[in-house]
């Protein structure tokens, strides 16, 4: 049921009557999709804020979705999704609890102390850009009202805490300014990317150091030397073969590894993203040796999940070909501007020409604000030291601009 009782007056302007925003809470994604303004609001969204991604999230049984919308004259002008999460594992949420566990350790609490939690924005991707905010992105008063309404919704749903994972620097600042000192911002695992632009693959190789360029060429030749060839295929056609390889990777990292559960997730992912969900595949004798799922959105390409035969991966260079070189070739051939490599394995990504984008976690109702701010400051300073070491070890400069990007919200 949609609640339309909450409204917010706009500041009066000379010659104009005072208008009102109407803020409503919706329990059905489908009911909002047909509303006036929805298509326009969705048009500029990034992948993990897009309608297909939220359809995937609404199909996830470990999440309970709600949508806050702000309307003006019956037209949706801002949207803030909310997902109640108990902490139960799923492939979408398996890394979302890292910040929760870290804060719990720093406060000498158990790992489940902050659950259930209400996650705001997007879940399960490498970014939470809140591009669905629309008018609220430039209206601090409206954004503050949406956040207050989220707090109320969290209480109604039984959430112990509220969190905004994987915020970009600009979005983190916007949330901080709108919500005030009650929110603390914690540095999270950065996301890696390669700016593709108009460069060719040879341009990419030439930009690497001589040592790294020679290594990349050896990795590419290794795949060919094993008699394998990488190609791009629709995701939907390879799910049965992918699930066991993904399960093997999960098991190596001591994570849940049911092939049937993973196959079910991949099927839902393929349905939600549609023809824009592809994969780099390497096979030999009809057997899948490795894959990397590619999700295309607007002018961006996202390397989302990877799986491979561990016995052959290193010897044949499968990992680096499916995870880096082939996605790059595909992006270049299709005029895509950026390859998103996400978090994790940052040292290997930096050595292959990637750059880092900061990510922040906004913690709300996690405890006394003064204590939380003190802990966040220490955490963020340690995080900055790690980023500096990563960049220096990869031969990349740690500039004043880089330092500012990773410290701008640390106090």
What pLDDT digit, counting tens, does each position of 213-229 carry? 999 999 999 998 988 88
Whether 215 is in a domain gets the answer yes
Over residues 376-393, the mean pLDDT reads 95
Whether the pLDDT of residue 336 is over 60: the answer is yes
342-355 pLDDT, tens digit each: 999 999 999 999 99
Six-digit token pair at 252?
């190596």
Whether 347 is in a domain gets the answer no
Query: Is 173 in the same domain as 210?
Result: no
User: Residue 124: which CATH number?
Assistant: 3.40.630
Whether 365 is in a domain gets the answer yes
Query: Is 115 in the same domain as 11?
Result: yes
Query: Is 30 in the same domain as 163?
Result: yes
Whether 38 is in a domain gets the answer yes
Domain residue limits at 99: 6-190+358-407
What pTM was computed for the model?
0.92
Domain count for the chain, please give it: 2
Over residues 363-379, the mean pLDDT reads 92
Whether the pLDDT of residue 333 is over 80: the answer is yes
Label residue 2 by pLDDT band (50, 70, 90): very low
Whether 144 is in a domain gets the answer yes
Query: Is 185 in the same domain as 203?
Result: no
- Sign of the CA dihedral with 298 first, then 61, 149, and 367 last: negative
3-31 pLDDT, tens digit each: 444 544 444 333 333 357 899 999 999 99
pLDDT at 202: 97
Query: Is 159 in the same domain as 15?
Result: yes
pLDDT at 75: 93
pLDDT at 257: 81
Percent of the chain with pLDDT over 90: 77
Whether 145 is in a domain gets the answer yes
Whether 350 is in a domain gets the answer no
Asked whether 70 and 151 are in contact (CB, 8 A), the reply is no
pLDDT at 22: 92
Label residue 254 by pLDDT band (50, 70, 90): confident
Query: Is 153 in the same domain as 119?
Result: yes
Query: Is 161 in the same domain as 209?
Result: no
Query: Is 128 in the same domain as 213?
Result: no
pLDDT at 408: 66
Query: Is 133 in the same domain as 13?
Result: yes
Whether the pLDDT of residue 57 is over 50: the answer is yes
């Amino acid at each position: 049921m949609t609640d339309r009782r909450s409204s917010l007056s706009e500041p009066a302007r000379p010659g104009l009557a005072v208008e009102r925003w109407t803020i409503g809470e919706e329990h059905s994604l489908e009911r909002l999709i047909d509303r006036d303004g929805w298509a326009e609001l969705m048009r500029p969204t990034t992948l993990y804020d897009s309608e297909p991604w939220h359809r995937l999230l609404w199909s996830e049984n470990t999440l309970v979705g709600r949508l806050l919308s702000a309307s003006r004259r019956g037209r949706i002008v801002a949207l803030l999704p909310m997902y109640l999460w108990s902490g139960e594992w799923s492939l979408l949420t398996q890394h979302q609890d890292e910040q929760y566990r870290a804060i719990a350790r720093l406060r000498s609490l158990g790992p489940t102390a902050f659950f259930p939690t209400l996650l705001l924005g997007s879940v399960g991707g490498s970014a939470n850009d809140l591009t669905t905010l629309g008018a609220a992105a430039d209206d601090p008063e409206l954004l503050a009202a949406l956040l207050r309404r989220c707090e109320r919704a969290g209480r109604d749903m039984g959430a112990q805490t509220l969190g905004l994972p994987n915020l970009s620097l600009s979005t983190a600042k916007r949330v901080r300014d709108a919500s005030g000192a009650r929110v603390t911002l914690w540095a999270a695992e950065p996301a890696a990317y390669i700016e593709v632009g108009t460069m060719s693959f040879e341009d990419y190789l030439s930009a690497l150091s001589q040592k790294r360029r020679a290594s990349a060429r050896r990795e590419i030749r290794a795949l060919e030397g094993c008699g394998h060839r990488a190609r791009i295929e629709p995701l939907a056609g390879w799910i049965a073969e992918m699930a066991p390889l993904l399960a093997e990777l999960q098991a190596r990292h001591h994570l849940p590894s049911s092939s049937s559960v993973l196959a079910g997730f991949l099927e839902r992912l393929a349905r939600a993203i549609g023809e824009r969900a592809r994969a780099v595949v390497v096979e030999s004798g009809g057997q899948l040796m490795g894959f990397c799922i590619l999700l295309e959105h607007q002018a961006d390409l996202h390397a989302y999940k990877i799986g491979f035969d561990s016995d052959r991966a290193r010897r044949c260079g499968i990992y680096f070909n499916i995870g880096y070189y082939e996605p790059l070739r595909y992006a270049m051939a299709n005029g895509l501007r950026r390859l998103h490599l996400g978090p994790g394995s940052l040292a290997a990504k930096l050595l292959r020409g990637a750059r880092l984008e900061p990510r922040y976690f906004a913690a709300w109702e996690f405890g006394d604000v003064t204590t939380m701010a003190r802990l966040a400051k220490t955490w963020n300073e340690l995080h900055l030291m790690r980023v500096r070491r990563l960049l220096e070890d990869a031969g990349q400069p740690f500039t004043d601009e880089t330092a500012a990007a990773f410290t701008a919200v640390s106090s």
